[in-house]
Structure 1
Amino acid sequence: MFTTRPELAGTHGMVASTHWLASATGMAVLEDGGNAFDAAVAAGFVLQVAEPHLNGPAGQVPAIFATAAERRPRVLCGQGVAPAAATPEHFAELGLDLIPGSGLLSATVPGAWDAWLLLLRDYGTKPLEDILGYAISYAWQGVPVVPRMTETIETVSALFATHWPSSAELWLPGGLPPAPGSVHRNRALARTWQRLLTEAEPAGDREARIDAARGAWSRGFVAEAVDAFSRRAFRDDSGREHAGLLTGEDLANWSASYEDPLITDLGGWGLVKCGAWTQGPVLAQQLLMLREFADDLAYVDGVPTARTVHLAAECAKLAFADREAWYGDAEVPVGALLSPEYAAQRAALVGARASAELRPGSPGGLAPRLPAILERTRGLEGGAGALGEPTVSPSGQARGDTVHIDVVDAEGNMVSATPSGGWLQSSPTIPELGFCLDSRAQMFWLEQGLPNSLRPGRRPRITLSPSMALREGEPVLAFGTPGGDQQDQWQLCFWLAHVLGGLNLQESIDAPAWHTTAFPGSFYPRAWHPRELVVESRLGESTIDELGEREHRVLDAGPWALGRLSAVARDPATGILRAAANARGMQGYAVGR
């Protein structure tokens, strides 16, 4: 099996992420005596500077973590809710049947700051000023611009220049996008972070200062600036100008929290995912269905067979149809959806040919309901061939823009986090803060009566989907990827390569990947493409031909195009730590010793 890099192994600590600066920062924290939580938080803030087209300070962060002392994993919920004024009636008055994918209307309460600080306070060991210092330094001194950041800014440059002048001032220095390899600074953001630290400094001990910094954000100058800026109107995806709905009171009334994860028994392995307010359970549903085809799944020389890819794609369609009918920040029949009986019932629908239908099931005998607008979005431009890097329209609408971090330390503390949102192209930059609001509310349906219908105070059903795995109840593996709707399909590719194919972490990440777009996208304009199957050409010509014969509409994305996975692992018996990261896009790196 060819690999781009070796799988790393050591005993001190491992960090893997989507950008080398974040991985190096996390490792620097571990070397300085910090634990996995300190390292993950420091890396998370650096990613906001190094990959601003993929995440930002006003974004969100769901994470799964386990401590060395208490091995049972927990979930960190850093997804903010819809503003109090975000009612279906308001959007109806504006003549909208979908929430725009850019601009101020689609902002939810920023979640990343409070979530990272909550995790640091409760499980880290370092002072906030030490942890945030890395990101402040990069924001002030500058970071090297990666090519995809330049391309993203080029795409939206006319929007910035014409309608979002504060974004043009920050991201179009001299009127042009920063060139790849040049140094870009965001000193307004550095000042914001430094002011948060300064206002928190008199509070007392480490925990008190962290809480004071949380308050300075949600009830202080950050909330005031967000409130004032949201009252202005800017152009969005609708082609019109709209003011935002987010207020300082919305920020003050929300805080990050912890909850129990969903743990699915897969026979020797336990898969740990966030709840159905994310798309996370679809990975468990796919794997439960595929257990019904155990004798038909195979890897040959590190490459899956055509039947393996076909079965995986068809199970994905069924799982994501269930996501559309059942998932949301509501009462979800998770127990029935993840039952072996239901998985067998769903797997029986898989045939020898690619299905062109969207077929949600009836868990517990309940009748499914899909959004009425889906027939209109079937086959729309905007969803076809979505790859692992951001897909951005000239109006700022973006899909699949995310980063990922995995950390494990010598004691066995482990974190898997998938920050996202607040992309530089989400909405206009708030000039005095140096960042913009997120656009995550675009994932709500305006049609009422659905699990993911818009409601004030509700979380949108997000695509962000970190993962952890257990062996005999012990956390042994943390992994994840950016990629919007594709996250839990590319993680399926990784899982099959590692667990079924017997490949190590790096080999599993490097193995050929695929995904289907034959279900509604989570991002505006919610396009979907029945029978479409996007593959890497390294699957092989004969495999691709056979998939075509099975009536998949195959799109060859090239040899190295799908996914930005990273992973860390720990063997509880030996204490050996391992890590790997994706070479696609030439940004992700794993480090450790």
Structure 2
Amino acid sequence: MFTTRPELSGTFGMVASTHWLASAAGMAVLEHGGNAFDAAAAAGFTLHVTEPHMNGPGGEVPAIFATAADPEPQVLCGQGVAPAAATVERFRDQGLDLVPGTGLLAATVPGAVGAWLTLLRDHGTMPLRDVLRYAIGYAEHGHPVAEAVVLTIQTVENLFRTYWPTSASQWLPVTRPGELVRLPALAATYRRLVAEAEAAGADREAQLDAAIRAWYEGFVAEELDAFCRSEVLDDSGVPHRGLLTGADLAAWRPTYERPVSMAALGWTVYKAGPWSQGPVLLQQLALLQELGELPPPGSAELIHRMTEVAKLAFADRDACYGDTDVPLDHLLSASYAAERAALVTREAGPVLRPGTGRLPRFVTEGGEVAVSGLGIGEPTLSPMGTTRGDTCHIDVADRWGNIVSATPSGGWLQSSPVVGSLGFCLGTRAQMFWLEEGLPNSLAPGKRPRTTLSPSLATRDGRVLSFGTPGGDQQDQWQLGFLLNHAGHGMNLQEAIDAPAWHTTAFASSFYPRATGAELVVESRVDGYVREELARRGHEVTVVEPWSLGRLSAVSRDLATGQLRAAANARGMQGYAVGR
């Protein structure tokens, strides 16, 4: 099978990410003796600079990893929580039916930097200065701006000029793709972070503890607290002050937890818990196993089955998932999978059929809100497949047996105004909460929103596979296709990524304004007769450009031989894998 680039193979180290400069930074760290955790953090901080429309220091990052000393996968949750003042009643009193997708009201505690610093402290080997040097260099001296960044800024140029002057100051006038862009305020923030870390003495762990304190209790927390007291226009059409405070930051730290796992296709697949959408991949796999032998890749029957199980699994996600007690044992049981799989017929089934739990009234009653167009609350693909931004992803494996899968996101330049003194903006992840009491994902103080971020690990007979993709609600659909291609149909990593992709929108969007779709979106490389057959079965088929869905990357390691492999997506013309 022709692929856009080769599957990489070597024994020293592999880094794959959604931007070539981040992958190069990670590889440079490996070449200088760092391990996978040092490299992942260097790549993550670099992505804050090179993909600011997709992630930033004000965002979040979940990660799944395994260490050379302990091959049992772990999850690091870098998803911040809702502020102490964030209650359903408070939002309702302001006349809101949904949490806005832009502005300051939707800010949760920014978890990304705390997560990277924690991962470095507990599992890395290098001092913060050596890890941050790449991000600081690209922010201070300039980096060639990607076309997607320029296009994103153009969509919100009028918003910046009229209502968000700090963003205008940083991002306007709009540059041309490939021109050098400098972010001096962000460089200064990271330089001060290094200085405050090194003021704690020579001990590496003490330095990283000091950096965490500086971010969550020191100068960063103080600046964010002050900025949130200002009124900012958001996509509700009304200016609002933020609810986030310095006390909220001081009370939060990243946490480690056990992943959720399930055996499928001869592998054990590991995901973050139901505060993410991670278990929805496992539910889809469970239903597919009940439906019998996999149909051929790219066939109408395979796409039909995948679409139908996605509709059922995502309905359960919307009814059951959240930062609360979720009946995962039931949702992932063979008996429940058999019950749900029985709903799959040869014809396209209806949408919004959870097997347990309760959907939000906003979804079942067809709620709508006026969309002002003030900013972009959804950094993912539109139902028609038009790229509006995305998220990021990083996979790293080193020669010692460490492996990391991380999906940084949030703090998008188009969704919240720049905090001028710091050079970055806050995230808007709270838009994923519901303003209805009694749901698993109802807004509450100190609660994590049920995010879409969904990194993955899988293991089999001494092999470890790390993979993931940007794409919001589509992440665990595109990852399912990748996993079926690789584990079910025997494609190598690059073949599995390059194969034609598709997804359904037949569930409630996680992003403001929370619309429910109906399309089966397929790349035009899917055979025409297959698309016709899908339409005959009742699917609302929407055909998009041939290389437009997903930005997967993956690395793998064979523990017996030490051989490493990596691949990255040509879609978007940014992602690269490097290694040797």
Do they fold alike, i.e. is TM over 0.5?
A: yes
Q: Secondary structure at the match of 2:404?
A: strand
Cα distance in 2 for residues equivalent to 1:348 and 1:416: 34
The match for 2:383 is none
Q: Is 1:478 equivalent to 2:466 in the alignment?
A: yes
Deviation of the 1:399 alpha carbon: 3.2
Counterpart among 546, 569, 575 of residue 588 in structure 1: 575
Aligned residue in 1 for 2:425: 436
* Cα displacement (A) at 1:236: 0.2
Q: Encode CA deviations 1:418-465: one digit per residue, 9 max, x unaligned.
A: 000001112111100000100000000010100000000000000000
Q: Distance in 1 between matches of 2:441 and 2:558?
A: 39
- Equivalent residue, structure 2, for 1:417: 406
Specify the SS of the correspondent of 2:64: strand
CA shift for structure 1 position 201: 1.3
* Counterpart selection for 2:280 from 266, 269, 282: 282
Counterpart for residue 452 of structure 2: 463
**Of residues 530, 544, 548 in structure 2, which corresponds to 1:557?**
544
Tell me which residue corresponds to 2:170: 170
Please report the RMSD computed on the Cα atoms of aligned residues, expressed in angstroms.
1.4
1:331 aligned to which of 325, 336, 339: 325
Q: Give the deviation of 1:177 after TM superposition.
A: 1.3
Change (3 A) 1:393 1:179: farther
TM-superposed CA distance for 1:394, in Å, is 4.8
Give the superposition deviation at 1:521: 0.4
**Deviations, residues 141-172 of structure 1 (Å, cap 9, x unaligned):** 11111111111100011110000000000011
The TM-score with structure 1 as length reference comes to 0.94
Residues 114-263 of structure 1 aligned to structure 2 (within 5 Å): 114-172=114-172, 176-204=173-201, 205-263=203-261
Relative to structure 1, the CA distance from residue 420 to residue 377 in structure 2 (aligned partners, 3 Å threshold; closer, same or farther) is farther
Structure 2 residue 50 is the aligned partner of structure 1 residue 61: no
Measured after TM superposition, the shift of residue 375 of structure 1 is 3.7
2:498 maps to what in 1? 510
Q: Distance in 2 between matches of 1:129 and 1:296?
A: 49
CA distance in 1: counterparts of 2:368 and 2:195, whole angstroms? 52
Determine the structure 1 residue equivalent to 2:480: 492
Query: For 2:275 and 2:54, how far apart are their aligned partners in 1?
Result: 21
Report the counterpart of residue 385 of structure 1 in structure 2: none
Q: Offset of 1:380 from its aligned partner?
A: 9.0
How has the CA–CA distance of structure 1 residues 47 and 356 changed in structure 2, closer, same or farther, with 3 Å as cutoff?
same
8 Å CA contact 2:237, 2:374 repeated in 1: no
Amino acid of the residue matched to residue 378 of structure 2?
A
Whole-Å Cα distance in 2 between the matches of residues 221 and 361 of structure 1?
48
Bigger mean CA offset, 206-215 vs 193-202: 193-202
Matched, 1:306 2:300: yes
Q: Offset of 1:298 from its aligned partner?
A: 1.6
Which SS does the other structure have where 1:373 is aligned? helix
Contact 1:155–1:394 at 8 Å: present in 2 too?
Answer: no
Contact conserved, 2:20 with 2:574, CA < 8 A, in 1?
Answer: yes
1:534 aligns with 2:521: yes
Structure 1 Cα separation of the partners of residues 118 and 294 of structure 2: 45
Deviation at 1:489, TM superposition (A): 0.2
Q: Give, in whole Å, the separation in 1 of the partners of 2:290 and 2:373.
A: 40
Distance (Å, rounded) in 1 between the aligned partners of 2:114 and 2:52: 18
Give the equivalent residue in structure 2 for 1:454.
Answer: 443
Q: Secondary structure at the match of 1:203?
A: coil
**C-alpha deviations, 1:568-593, integer Å up to 9, x for none?**
00112211100000001110000000
Offset of residue 296 of structure 1: 4.8
Structure 1 residues 305 and 436, CA, compared in 2 at 3 Å: closer, same or farther?
same
Go from structure 1 to structure 2 and tell me whether the alpha carbon gap of 1:403 and 1:466 turns closer, same or farther (over 3 Å shift): same
Q: 1: CA distance between counterparts of 2:289 and 2:129?
A: 48
Q: Deviation of residue 5 (structure 1)?
A: 0.7
Q: CA deviation at 1:417?
A: 0.1
Structure 1: distance between partners of 2:473 and 2:379: 9
SS in structure 2 at match of 1:294: coil
- Post-superposition Cα deviations, 1:12-42, rounded to whole Å, max 9, x if no partner, equal 0000000000000000000000000000000
Structure 1 residue 223: Cα displacement: 0.6
Greater mean alpha carbon deviation, residues 372-381 or residues 460-469:
372-381
| Equivalent position SS for 2:574 | coil
Q: Unaligned regions of 5+ residues in structure 1, if any?
A: 363-367, 383-391
**Distance change >3 Å, CA 376–CA 241, structure 1 → 2:** farther
**Percent pairwise identity:** 63
Alpha-carbon distance in structure 2 between the residues aligned to 1:142 and 1:107: 28
CA contact (8 A) 2:294 2:488 kept: no
- The residue type equivalent to 1:422 in the other structure is G
Q: Measure, in 2, the Cα distance between the counterparts of 1:454 and 1:494.
A: 33
Question: In structure 2, what is the Cα distance between the partners aligned to 1:361 and 1:103?
Answer: 35
Q: Contact 1:478–1:569 at 8 Å: present in 2 too?
A: yes
Secondary structure in structure 2 of the residue aligned to 1:585 = helix
65-74 or 265-274, larger mean C-alpha shift: 265-274
Give the equivalent residue in structure 1 for 2:535: 548
Q: How far apart are the structure 2 equivalents of 1:237 and 1:381?
A: 9
- What corresponds to 1:578 in structure 2? 565
**Aligned-partner SS, 1:464:** coil
Shift of 1:398: 2.3
2:359 partner letter: L
Aligned amino acid, residue 572 of structure 2: G
Q: Is the 8 A contact 1:378 1:528 kept in 2?
A: no
| Amino acid aligned to 2:122 | D
What is the distance in 1 between the residues matched to 2:169 and 2:180? 16
Residue 73 of structure 1 is matched in structure 2 by: 73
User: Cα distance, 1:393 vs. partner?
Assistant: 5.0
C-alpha separation in 1, matches of 2:56 and 2:339:
42
SS of match in other structure, 2:567: strand
CA-to-aligned-CA distance 1:107-134 (integer Å, 9 cap, x gap): 0000011110000000000001110111
> Which letter does structure 1 place at the counterpart of 2:339?
Q
Q: Answer whether contact 1:150 1:179 (CA < 8 A) is retained.
A: yes
Q: Deviation per CA, 1:61-102, whole angstroms, max 9, x where unpaired?
A: 000000011000000000000000011111011000100000
Structure 1 stretches of 4+ moved >6 Å: 378-382
Distance between the aligned counterparts of 2:133 and 2:572, measured in 1?
Answer: 27
SS of aligned partner of 1:291: helix
